[in-house]
Chain A
Amino acid sequence: MQKRIIYVDNAATTPLSKEAFEAMRPWLTERWGNPSSIYSIARDSRRAIEKAREDVAAAIGAKPDEIYFTSGGTESDNWAIKSTAKAFASKGRHLITSAIEHHAVTESMESLKSEGFEVTILPVDKYGLVDPAELEKAIRPDTILISIMTANNEIGTIQPIAELAEIAHKHKVLFHTDAVQAVGHIPVNVEELKVDMLSMSAHKFHGPQGVGALYIRKGIRIPPLLHGGGHERGRRSGTENVAGVCGMAAALKHAIETMPETSARLARLRDRLIEKILQIPHTQLTGHPEKRLPGTVSVVINYIEGESIILLLDRYGICASSGSACTSGSLDPSHVLLAIGLPHEVAHGSLRITLGDDNTEEDVDFIAEKLVEVVEKLRAMSPLWKG
């Protein structure tokens, strides 16, 4: 008998929605025209891309000509950060970010240091929140860009982006946000948030992998990251991923339409699971208790190690993840868990369960039941556990 799979790693990637698949199908089969060509089947591709651009723009309150399709969140973050630095280097060489960003942001920042830029990394509190007052203090006359993520991928904490962006603008500094985990899950509107640039990735909201977008507010000029044939109005070269952008737009449209119902349902499941997990002794919630993504359950379980938890859960068909060193391929646990003040040994016992559209109450109860067994088994063999 095939083992039942309970997929609860939706912050890593999400299954492709039916809507996205149907929107992609024609462009993967009978309609292959290069949108840059001039014959009729190519014009169909061009029209499909522009329709997708309108839909993606509408989903975040932007104008279509403020949306640039990319290969995903990583490219969008790299482009926003590196090209802003390049464009404004004559004005200043100082950038600000937070201690809990995705590696696409932290490594982009890091790469700029070797080119003579300075980076201030803002600390976060125990819930993972950036203090707006700290941000204001960190701004200098030579600050050119602030990049702070909308919602965290490991602990689910949602930042007060509108407030942070307002501070940036008061000091005439550009504000970018990596909203990869937020778009399609919580309301994200660029007019309300007043951000200048925003990164998103299709496969985090049931679109395909390998496609994303960068929103760039009208009037902001940053040079391209990728040079070539001048696609995306000269700002992002490379033949368009027609199927990808159509899938992205359809997935996002569906996610936005169903968001009120889905997010309320996921938040109920999330809170039910958190409550059950915290009944296990020596466990602790990570991230903010309320300001968190509707599907994100993140905890640390003392005296045991994360990879072991994941491997044992996998035996029951449960697909989850951890920020322990052993899952990151280094000796240090996740920088996010260390930034919220957890000691190394506690951070090694992290477990992240990110719920999605397909999960049910039955799944959540099964996970909680199996987790109790897994924790008992691992603690029984842990030299740290004195039961």
Chain B
Amino acid sequence: MLYSDKVLDHFQNPRNVGEVENANAVGTVGNAKCGDIMQMSMRIENDIIVDVKFKTFGCGAAVATSSMATELVKGKTIKEALELTNKAVMEALDGLPPVKVHCSVLAEQAIRAALADYYRRQGIDPEPIVGKIEELDHDDEHDFGH
């Protein structure tokens, strides 16, 4: 399996890793059973994503798509961020192997999950705005037996 140089770069030197302090939008998608979890945290001010960071459990492509997605939405308006597609993430990474396309879908979903959380915090039903997202159920987040 061949990763593009861009995928390898974003995997080895991921941008925006961590958790945003004073985040007002946090979303987590995926599940450990399938081997991918992405968490996005954002600080949104005046409809603009002023800061965004990610944490990911997953393969090289999962990390690279998370990293690229943060770059693509940082400094953008909510409306622009909602227009981000998995295809755009893939293109920005010069493509992904076919078995890894689902990682780019997860990255798109993680951005949407964070934005959904932003609306929910304001008492607004996010579904009409961001669409339906399968967010992580925190009760069965993982079972490492420790």
| Contact between chains at A344 and B59 (CB < 8 Å) | no
| Chain A residue contacts of B36, Cβ below 8 A | 305
- Binding stretch for chain A, among B26-34, B44-52, B79-87, B125-133: B26-34
Measured between alpha carbons, how far is A157 from B3 in the docked complex, in Å? 33
| Contact between chains at B60 and A345 (CB < 8 Å) | no
- Please judge, given known A-B contacts A315-B12, A345-B144, whether A307 and B60 are in contact too, CB under 8 Å: yes
| Chain B residue contacts of A321, Cβ below 8 A | none
| Contact between chains at A381 and B34 (CB < 8 Å) | no
Whole-angstrom distance from the CB of A384 to the nearest CB of chain B?
Answer: 5
In the complex, A304 has a CB within 8 A of chain B: yes
- Please judge, given known A-B contacts A315-B12, A344-B33, A345-B33, whether A308 and B58 are in contact too, CB under 8 Å: yes
| Contact between chains at A305 and B12 (CB < 8 Å) | no
| Chain B residue contacts of A380, Cβ below 8 A | 17
In the complex, which residues 325-350 of chain A have their Cβ closer than 8 Å to any Cβ of chain B? 325-326, 329, 331, 333, 343-346, 348
Measured between alpha carbons, how far is A177 from B28 in the docked complex, in Å? 46
| Chain B residue contacts of A307, Cβ below 8 A | 59-60
Please tell me which one of the listed residues A302, A331, A383 contacts residue B56 in the complex, with CB atoms under 8 A apart. Answer: A383
In the complex, which residues 257-306 of chain A have their Cβ closer than 8 Å to any Cβ of chain B? 282, 302-306
| Contact between chains at B17 and A381 (CB < 8 Å) | yes
Measured between alpha carbons, how far is A382 from B14 in the docked complex, in Å? 12
| Chain A residue contacts of B12, Cβ below 8 A | 311-312, 315
| Chain A residue contacts of B6, Cβ below 8 A | none
Q: Which of A305, A312, A315, A343 has the most CB of B within 10 A?
A: A305
In the complex, B143 has a CB within 8 A of chain A: yes
Number of chain B residues whose Cβ lies closer than 8 Å to a Cβ of chain A: 34
In the complex, which residues 53-84 of chain B have their Cβ closer than 8 Å to any Cβ of chain A? 54-63
Q: What does DSSP make chain A's interface, helix, strand, loop or mixed?
A: loop
Interface mask (B110-146 → A, CB under 8 Å = 1, otherwise 0): 0000000000000000000000000000000111111
In the complex, B37 has a CB within 8 A of chain A: yes
Measured between alpha carbons, how far is A343 from B142 in the docked complex, in Å? 9
| Chain B residue contacts of A325, Cβ below 8 A | 34-35
| Contact between chains at A282 and B35 (CB < 8 Å) | no
- Please judge, given known A-B contacts A282-B146, A302-B146, A303-B144, whether A381 and B56 are in contact too, CB under 8 Å: yes
Measured between alpha carbons, how far is A303 from B32 in the docked complex, in Å? 9
- Please judge, given known A-B contacts A282-B146, A345-B143, whether A311 and B11 are in contact too, CB under 8 Å: yes
| Contact between chains at B11 and A383 (CB < 8 Å) | no
| Contact between chains at A343 and B143 (CB < 8 Å) | yes
Whole-angstrom distance from the CB of B75 to the nearest CB of chain A?
Answer: 22
| Contact between chains at B32 and A384 (CB < 8 Å) | yes
In the complex, A97 has a CB within 8 A of chain B: no
| Contact between chains at A382 and B99 (CB < 8 Å) | no
| Chain A residue contacts of B63, Cβ below 8 A | 308, 381
Whole-angstrom distance from the CB of A137 to the nearest CB of chain B?
Answer: 30
In the complex, B104 has a CB within 8 A of chain A: no
In the complex, B109 has a CB within 8 A of chain A: no
| Chain B residue contacts of A324, Cβ below 8 A | 35, 59
- Please judge, given known A-B contacts A343-B145, A348-B32, whether A383 and B59 are in contact too, CB under 8 Å: no
| Chain B residue contacts of A303, Cβ below 8 A | 57, 144
Please tell me which one of the listed residues B17, B28, B35, B61 contacts residue A348 in the complex, with CB atoms under 8 A apart. Answer: B35
> Can you give 6 A-B contacts (C-beta < 8 A)?
A305-B62, A308-B59, A311-B8, A326-B100, A329-B99, A382-B37
B residues contacting A by CB (< 8 A) are 1, 8, 11-12, 14, 17-18, 28, 32-39, 54-63, 99-100, 141-146
A sample of 18 more A-B contacts (CB under 8 A), given A311-B12, A333-B35, A383-B39, is: A282-B146, A303-B57, A303-B144, A305-B62, A306-B59, A307-B59, A308-B58, A311-B60, A326-B58, A326-B59, A326-B62, A329-B99, A345-B32, A345-B142, A382-B37, A383-B28, A383-B37, A383-B56
A residues contacting B by CB (< 8 A) are 282, 302-308, 311-312, 315, 324-326, 329, 331, 333, 343-346, 348, 380-384
